[in-house]
Structure 1
Amino acid sequence: MPYNTSYVPNYIKRQARMVLLLLVLFTGCTEVIELDIQEVEDGLVIYGRISNSNSANEVIISRTRGPETAPTPISGATVRVIDNNGLVRIFLEKEPGVYTMQPSDSPGDFGNSYRLEADVSGRIYRTDFQELMPIIAQDELRYEIGVERDITSSGANIENDVVRIFGDSKLPSDLPEDFFIRWEIEEVYSTLTAFLPVFWFPGAGGRGQCYIQNKLGADQIYLLDGRNIRRSDLNNRPIITRKIDNSFQNKHYFNLIQSSISEENHDYWEKVRTLTITNGSIFDPIVGKLQGNIKSSDPEEEVFGFFEVIGIDTTRLLMTNNDIPVFFVDPCLFLGDKVFPLLTVPFGCVQCLLDEKLIEPGCLSCSAITNSTSRPSYF
Structure 2
Amino acid sequence: MRKLSVFSLLIVFFGFNSCVEQIEFELEKAERERLIVSGTLTDLNETQVVFLSETTSKARQPLLADEERRIFTLNDLPRPLAGAQVTLVAVGGGIWFYRETKPGRYELNGFNGRVVNSDLYLQISAGNRVYRSKAQRIPEAIGSDDLSFSFERTRLKDNPDAAQVIIKTEVTLPEQIGDYYLRWTVDEAYFWDLTFFPNAFNMPPPPCIVFDFPDPERIPLINGDLLNRPGGKSTQIVTKRLVDQSFLSRHYFNVRQLSISKDAFEYWRRVRELVNNTGSVFDSPPAQIRGNIFNVDDSEEVVLGYFEVAKARVSRIYTTFADVPFFVEKTCEYDPNRRRDQYPPTCLSCNLFPNSQQEYPEWWFDE
TM-score, normalised relative to structure 2: 0.76
Partner of 2:313: 313
Taking the aligned partners of 1:48 and 1:159, their CA distance within structure 2 comes to 38
Number of matched pairs: 321
Partner of 2:259: 260
CA contact (8 A) 1:179 1:226 kept: yes
Taking the aligned partners of 1:271 and 1:295, their CA distance within structure 2 comes to 19
Structure 1 unpaired stretches of 5+: 17-36, 276-286, 343-352
Question: Structure 2 residue aligned with 1:118, among 116, 124, 146?
Answer: 124
The CA deviation at 1:11 is 9.9
The CA deviation at 1:195 is 2.0
Render the CA deviation track for 1:145-176: whole Å, top value 9, x for unaligned: 44x154874xxx85455433321011244x15
Question: Structure 2 residue aligned with 1:136, among 137, 142, 146?
Answer: 142
Q: CA 1:116/1:180 → structure 2, altered by over 3 Å: closer, same or farther? A: same
CA contact (8 A) 1:11 1:70 kept: no
CA contact (8 A) 1:52 1:108 kept: yes
Larger strand proportion of the pair: 1
Considering Cα pairs closer than 8 Å and 6+ residues apart, tell me whether 1 or 2 has the greater RCO.
1
Taking the aligned partners of 1:9 and 1:248, their CA distance within structure 2 comes to 20
1:83 lines up with 2:84 in the alignment: no
Q: RMSD of the alignment, in Å?
A: 3.1
The CA deviation at 1:140 is 0.5
Q: Equivalent residues in 2 for 1:218-367 (5 A)?
A: 218-231=216-229, 232-272=231-271, 289-299=288-298, 300-326=300-326, 328-334=328-334, 338-342=335-339, 353-354=340-341, 358-367=342-351
Question: Structure 2 residue aligned with 1:8, among 7, 18, 23?
Answer: 18
Aligned with 1:80: secondary structure? Answer: strand
Render the CA deviation track for 1:237-285: whole Å, top value 9, x for unaligned: 344443433322221222221111001111112223767xxxxxxxxxx
Question: Structure 1 residue aligned with 2:51, among 60, 82, 103?
Answer: 60
Aligned with 2:225: secondary structure? Answer: helix
The CA deviation at 1:229 is 0.7
Structure 2 unpaired stretches of 5+: 1-12, 59-74, 276-285
The CA deviation at 1:56 is 4.6
Q: CA 1:77/1:4 → structure 2, altered by over 3 Å: closer, same or farther? A: closer
Aligned with 1:42: secondary structure? Answer: coil
The CA deviation at 1:288 is 5.9
Q: Equivalent residues in 2 for 1:169-248 (5 A)?
A: 169-173=171-175, 175-198=176-199, 206-231=204-229, 232-248=231-247
Q: CA 1:234/1:214 → structure 2, altered by over 3 Å: closer, same or farther? A: farther
CA contact (8 A) 1:137 1:172 kept: yes
Taking the aligned partners of 1:297 and 1:150, their CA distance within structure 2 comes to 49
Taking the aligned partners of 2:147 and 2:297, their CA distance within structure 1 comes to 47
CA contact (8 A) 2:21 2:213 kept: no
The CA deviation at 1:94 is 0.6
CA contact (8 A) 1:51 1:108 kept: no
Render the CA deviation track for 1:169-193: whole Å, top value 9, x for unaligned: 11244x1541111112332211121
Taking the aligned partners of 2:179 and 2:34, their CA distance within structure 1 comes to 34
1:377 lines up with 2:362 in the alignment: yes
- Which deviates more, 108-117 or 221-230? 108-117
Partner of 2:36: 45
CA contact (8 A) 1:80 1:118 kept: yes
CA contact (8 A) 1:169 1:234 kept: yes
Render the CA deviation track for 1:190-240: whole Å, top value 9, x for unaligned: 1121222337xx9x9632221122323322211111111112433443444
Taking the aligned partners of 1:47 and 1:242, their CA distance within structure 2 comes to 24
Q: CA 1:223/1:108 → structure 2, altered by over 3 Å: closer, same or farther? A: farther
Partner of 2:69: none
CA contact (8 A) 1:210 1:372 kept: yes
